[in-house]
Amino acid sequence: MNLKLKIWRQKNAAQKGKFETYSLQEVSPEMSFLQMLDYLNDQLIAKGDEPVHFDHDCREGICGSCGLYINGRPHGPLRNTTTCELHMREFKEGSTIVIEPWRSKSFPVIKDLVVDRTAFDKIIQAGGFVNTNTGVAQDANTTPINKIVSDRAFDAAVCVGCGACVAACKNSSAMLFVAAKVSQMAMLPQGKVEAADRVEKMVHEMDEQGFGFCSNTYGCEFDCPKGISVEFIAQMNREFFSARVCKQNHS
Amino acid sequence: MTKLDSKIPKGPLADKWSNYKSSLRLVNPANKKKLDVIVVGSGLAGASAASSLGELGYNVKVFCFQDSPRRAHSVAAQGGINAAKNYKNDGDSVYRLFHDMIKGGDFRAREANVYRAAEVSNLVIDHFTAMGVPFARDYGGGLDTRSFGGVQVSRTFYAKGQTGQQCLLGTYSSLSRQVAKGTVTMYSRRDMLDVVIVEGKARGIIVRNLLTGEIEKYSAHAVVLATGGYGTVFYLSTLALGSNSSAAWAAHKKGALFANPSFIQIHPTSIPVLNDYQSKLTLMSESLRNDGRVWVPAQKDEKRHPNEIPEEERDYYLERRYPAFGNLVPRDVASRAAKERCDAGYGVGDTGLSVYLDFKDAINKHGKKVIEDKYGNLFEMYEKITGINPYNEPMRIYPAGHYTMGGLWVDYNLMTTIPGLFAIGESNFSDHGANRLGASSLMQCSGDGYFILPYTLSDYLADEIKTPRFSTDSEEFQQSEKQVEERIQKIMAVNGTQTVTSFHKRLGKILWDHCGMVRNAEGLKKGIEKLDALEEEFWKEVKVPGSADEFNQELEKALRVADFFEVGRLMCYDALDRDESCGAHFRDEYQTGQGEAKRNDAEYAHVSAWGYQGHKQEPQLHKEPLVFENVELKERSYK
């Protein structure tokens, strides 16, 4: 198939970027989206041009490195699919594909389609863990956990940290990302102990990093490649308010 | 030949580690703060080591090439993590796990190391659970397990088909906690390009800052490599595209011996190559063989749709050849059996290079819901890539390069032959012999990082408490930096006409053909010649656009591929030297009447540890004899 690509090119964080248009011939529908970009890059290199930079690594939908804004949607047209899992059979012959980086103040562009997502690491550092040291654990089966609860914690824990939720949200909110970790930990007995403290710290850091407030449009859930539910945002809000109320009662 | 001292403690196998641990020296808390440790790699091994060392109070610096430590390729491990908990009451024990691994590795691993890995496996599961890793549970609320290849007990803990992700994210959480506490400093988007040796000890590293292109120097009292395997040498593999051998290779060039480089696991169940632009192969977890049955048509050149081929015209060749283990034979055996059928003309798909993995019977027996609960994400992944729904028709699979049992030689302390340079996880060679059993790599990585290295490294550092922090201005650091810069300039200056990837593809093809699932002396020699010629062409024709002092992904690739030529050559030398078949190393000159691997214990019951003698110079072989006191060496039979 033959395609027209409009790709965001930006030399570095300091310079202004712009769209460049490329024609690409003989794209196989069996190619993955990133293979299609590899194919474009081969041609650019052959012509002596600089290839398009984009983050990618595992290419099987689990590392969360890749994330392109394709035709106005994070990770492109398919639901529950990362960019690397998307295949060209989803596009029509002769179509124009617009490819951009994530757009968010908290994810500054580094080069072309690569953005800086360290804000997410900072949020996890603020409290996305259980305060336990190596060596203190008791036997893993000492504390039974209801299977439904444990499965639900898993559903939250599948977040790959790609940032699609932020890119999908008109407020650039990171609520789904934060809620997934807060909820996973709050549901499990191991994480429950510090649930109140954790949610306050993580939400505070989320604000510090400049992410906006929830837009209530559910765009994050719709475009999350792991299908994480906005119900976890509701859960996080409950955790947050109950933490606040408990604190007031104590003081 | 130097005599390699593996430093295996004396005493009965089951007591070695606990006795040894008690004898290791400690560093007092006030001194720990003054000691710096560099950890390269942030996967399960690196992040678990770094967080544990941080908890102990050392000053740790962690480096990774990804934008975040959470992306390291441990994240992609699917099926599970082994432990000898015996929660199923099915006769499991530390000894049984040890025995399965020794046998699975075809008697080419060190007894003491393997026993220790089995021993700490239970602590690993406890620790992950305490960190909030949501492993699968049964209705009573206890942890569930499943079976994996090469064993007859159910000891594999899992979190759907995303066990690696859940374990890595747990470890990433504990690493993040230490970053917040200030004991660990994280340096992401850095490629390690050299290790710096001062007065015979590893004292630091040289890295390239991938965003700015700057060459940076870091010093420490000890350096830990947790840089994974070199499976991407094949170009097409199940690994992440960024996975590479450059850090381990830099250490090798500086004097660290490289052990059993030709022991590479070819995983039997990968989605086959679908087109010429394929950049990677996606694994379908071994756990699928719990319920999936592997078959090919009984007739050659079968053109019918798999669903139309009746039962009696199907050849369930694993069940036929290995009735005792059936579809759950170890990976090396399953891979070779698939290759044998395809080479004989029974393969399916356009290329004839694939076999079926069929869930029809399991779905009929247990219902779709049960299968979906166990493998839902894998089935979805398969459908996204191939466009075929595996609930309705069989998957097509074929072997692909996966895991490297070989790696840097380490002693019982996990220290390489360079004092102060440690290697953990997949980057070392120690625990899997000639073939790794499924679900034991997450186990080994976390065991190394959480429960072994913190003890042995402390013992090493006990001698370093009087060594002050040192500057990176010394002659040795500058020398290393200069070499790295020169190499980068050299590669940029080639300015040829062919892309880095085109070379990597050709390199991978040479190794796949000559040093893949089946090898022979003639082919290996030819492989070395072809590698030499291709390497020469690389240094004349490769094109790296842009400049070295900026974010340049082609340059990153070029530096990695440049090392792969040398790694590939060493693999061939090792395979050529080992005149036997064992585990994943199958020389067609050495096989039994039934086509199984034929070991030569009299001459090859040793670890082959290779020393670097210079570019294109024949490497020097050092042998570490393997002594088996607790298991009987037998032909490995799964029949």
Cα(B594)–Cα(B387) distance, rounded to whole angstroms?
A: 38
Token pair recorded at residue B268:
């039997």
Mutate: best of A37, A60, A84, A204, partner B, most B CBs <10 A: A60
Residue B43 contacts residue B74 (beta carbons within 8 Å): yes
**CA distance linking residue A185 with residue A220, whole number of Å:** 20
Of all helices (H) and strands (E), which one includes residue B503? helix B500-514
Q: Is A134 in Cβ contact with B55 (below 8 Å)?
A: yes
First to last CA, chain A: 67
* B228 has a chain A CB within 8 A of its CB: no
Nearest to A140 among B129, B242, B545 (CB): B129
Q: Nearest by CB to A124, from B134, B173, B278: name it.
A: B173
Q: What is the pTM of this model?
A: 0.97
Give the whole-angstrom CA distance, residue B427 versus residue B226. 6
The candidate with the shortest Cα–Cα distance to B444, out of B63, B52, B98, is B98
Q: How far is CA B60 from CA B179, B224, B294, B401, B474, in A?
A: 9, 10, 47, 33, 21
User: What are the Cα distances from residue B3, in Å, to B395, B600, B601?
Assistant: 49, 22, 20
Look up the CATH number of the domain holding residue B364. 3.90.700.10
> Does residue B546 form part of some domain?
yes
Q: In A, which residues are within 8 Å of B129 by CB distance?
A: 137, 140, 143, 190
Q: Which member of B66, B127, B274 has the closest CB to residue A134? A: B127
Strand B215-219 relative to strand B293-297, pairing: unpaired
Give the pairing type, strands B264-270 and B395-404: antiparallel
Does the pLDDT at position A114 exceed 60?
Answer: yes
What's the pLDDT tens digit per position in B257-303?
Answer: 999 999 999 999 999 998 888 989 999 988 899 999 999 999 998 99
Q: How far apart are CA A118 and CA B67, in angstroms?
A: 8
For B581-618, the pLDDT digits (tens) are 999 999 999 999 999 999 999 999 999 999 999 999 99
Q: Is the ipTM of this complex over 0.90?
A: yes
In this model, does residue B2 exceed pLDDT 70?
A: no
> Is B479 found in the same domain as B602?
yes
Laid out side by side, the sheet with B293-297 consists of B264-270, B395-404, B355-358, B293-297, B314-315
In this structure, the strands spanning B59-63 and B184-187 are parallel
All domains in chain A, ordered by first residue: 3-107 (3.10.20.30), 117-133+142-250 (1.10.1060.10)
Residue B105 and residue B115: Cα distance in Å, rounded?
13
Count of domains forming chain B = 2
Straight-line distance from the first to the last Cα atom of chain B, in angstroms, rounded to the nearest whole number: 40
Residue A171, exposed/middle/buried by CB under 10 A (0-12, 13-18, 19+)? Answer: middle
Residues B390 and B501 reside in one and the same domain: no
Specify whether the CB–CB gap between A112 and A101 falls below 8 A. yes
The answer to whether residue A250 scores a pLDDT higher than 80 is no
Please pick, among B331, B396, B436, B519, the residue that the annotation labels catalytic. Answer: B331
Rounded to the nearest 10°, the torsion over CA B13, B14, B15, B20 is: 70
Alpha-carbon distance of B423 to B228, in angstroms, equals 9
**Would you call A134 and B51 a contact, using CB atoms and an 8 Å cutoff?**
yes
For residue B337, is it within any domain?
yes
- The model's confidence at residue B123, banded by pLDDT at 50, 70 and 90, is very high
**Within a domain: B532:** yes
Q: What is the pLDDT of residues A14-66, one digit of tens each?
A: 999 999 999 999 999 999 999 999 999 999 999 999 999 999 999 999 999 99
B578 in catalytic set: no
In a domain, B509, yes or no: yes
The domain of B381 spans 268-400
Specify whether the CB–CB gap between B258 and B610 falls below 8 A: yes
Inside any domain, residue B493: yes
Give the CATH number for residue B487. 1.20.58.100
In this prediction, residues B145-174 reach a mean pLDDT of: 94
Q: Is the pLDDT of residue B1 over 60?
A: no
CA distances from residue B375 to A229, B294, B358, B591 in whole angstroms, order as listed: 20, 16, 13, 36
Average pLDDT over residues B423-434: 97
A61 and B381: CB-CB below 8 Å? yes
Chain B's closest residue to A184, CA to CA, is B132
The per-residue pLDDT of chain B, averaged, comes to 96
Which residues of A fall within a CB distance of 8 Å from B137?
144-147, 150-151
Q: Which of B48, B64, B92, B169 to mutate to test the interface with A (most CBs of A within 10 A)?
A: B169
Domain annotation covers residue B590: yes
pLDDT for the residue numbered B275: 83
Domain assignment present for residue B636? The answer is: no
Which secondary-structure segment (H or E) carries B404?
strand B395-404
Same domain, B388 and B506: no
Cβ contact, residue pair B278, A154, below 8 Å: no
What gap in Å lies between CA B292 and CA B287, rounded to an integer?
9
User: Per the structure block, which two tokens stand in for B27?
Assistant: 């560093």
Asked if residue B361 belongs to a domain, the reply is yes
Distance from C-alpha of B144 to C-alpha of B155, rounded to nearest angstrom: 9
- Tell me the two tokens of residue A31: 């190619």
